[in-house]
Amino acid sequence: MEDFYRQTLYPWLMDQVMGGEPFAGLRKELLAPAAGRILELGLGTGLNLGCYPQGTTKIESLDPSKELHQRALPRIRTCGMEVEHHFGSASAMPFADLSFDYILSSWTLCSVSDLYGALREIKRVLKKGGIFRFIEHGAHPNPKIKAWQDRLNPLHHKLSGGCNLNRDFHEALMEQGFLFEKLECWQLESSPAILGYQYFGTARRLF
């Protein structure tokens, strides 16, 4: 039963929950400025592939999940871009230093097991002046809601592919020395408060 949930039901649920609005519009906004050598962290089921700007010919992607990738394959075949996919961890990327102009992450860093390790790797493989653009859900600024996020996180983590409710992405990125060019935070009206607090940001590697 656990294998059925992980291999079949959870990938299907991901598509149902994350495939429509407002998520599709946010994906397009996130990906709009991407150019140069591009890395997408957490390809998942490939929902971003139809949202890249016209003229994008190739991206590289990194994701540890073979189950989610099976669902992504039809989208890879029809997206009109070359997708060079790598199976692996965001905290141990198989790329050389200073490799990418843009790194993109949409609702992915909530699930990596080692957030700070992943951020160090993002900084390592970005070119100097390179851009990290992300949208994530995480810690709510209301202390009462945050307390409920903390209480429910162990159960949510188990049921949602390792997703965490309570990560503060602003604080984590600041600690790793990224310079924010833009950060917007808001509560997504269509989501419960414990799930829907969004962090949408653009951060640059300075050195």
- Please list the pLDDT of the chain residue by residue as tens digits (207 residues): 666 776 678 778 878 878 888 999 999 999 999 999 999 999 999 999 999 999 999 999 999 998 889 999 999 999 999 999 999 999 999 999 999 999 999 999 999 999 999 999 999 999 999 999 999 999 999 999 999 999 999 999 988 888 999 999 999 999 988 999 999 999 999 899 999 999 999 999 977
Its domain, for residue 156, covers: 2-204
pLDDT of amino acid 2: 64
pLDDT of amino acid 154: 97
**Total domain count for the chain?**
1
> Can you tell me the distance from the alpha carbon of 66 to that of 151, in angstroms, rounded to the nearest whole number?
30
pLDDT of amino acid 1: 62
pLDDT of amino acid 13: 80
Encoding tokens for residue 191? 């989501």
Q: 37: domain CATH number?
A: 3.40.50.150
Identify the three-state secondary structure at position 158: helix
pTM confidence score: 0.93
Strands 82-87 and 38-41: unpaired
pLDDT of amino acid 24: 92
Find out whether the peptide bond into 22 is cis, omega within 30 degrees of 0.
Answer: yes
Q: Please give the biggest Cα pair distance in the chain.
A: 48
Helix (H), strand (E) counts: the chain: 7, 7
Name the nearest CA neighbour of 55 among 74, 34, 40, 73: 34
Residues near 16 by beta carbon (within 8 Å), at least 6 away in sequence: none
Give the H/E segment covering residue 170. helix 169-175
pLDDT of amino acid 64: 93
pLDDT of amino acid 206: 79
Encoding tokens for residue 98? 């200073």
Residues near 102 by beta carbon (within 8 Å), at least 6 away in sequence: 33, 34, 35, 36, 37, 38, 39, 130, 131, 132, 133
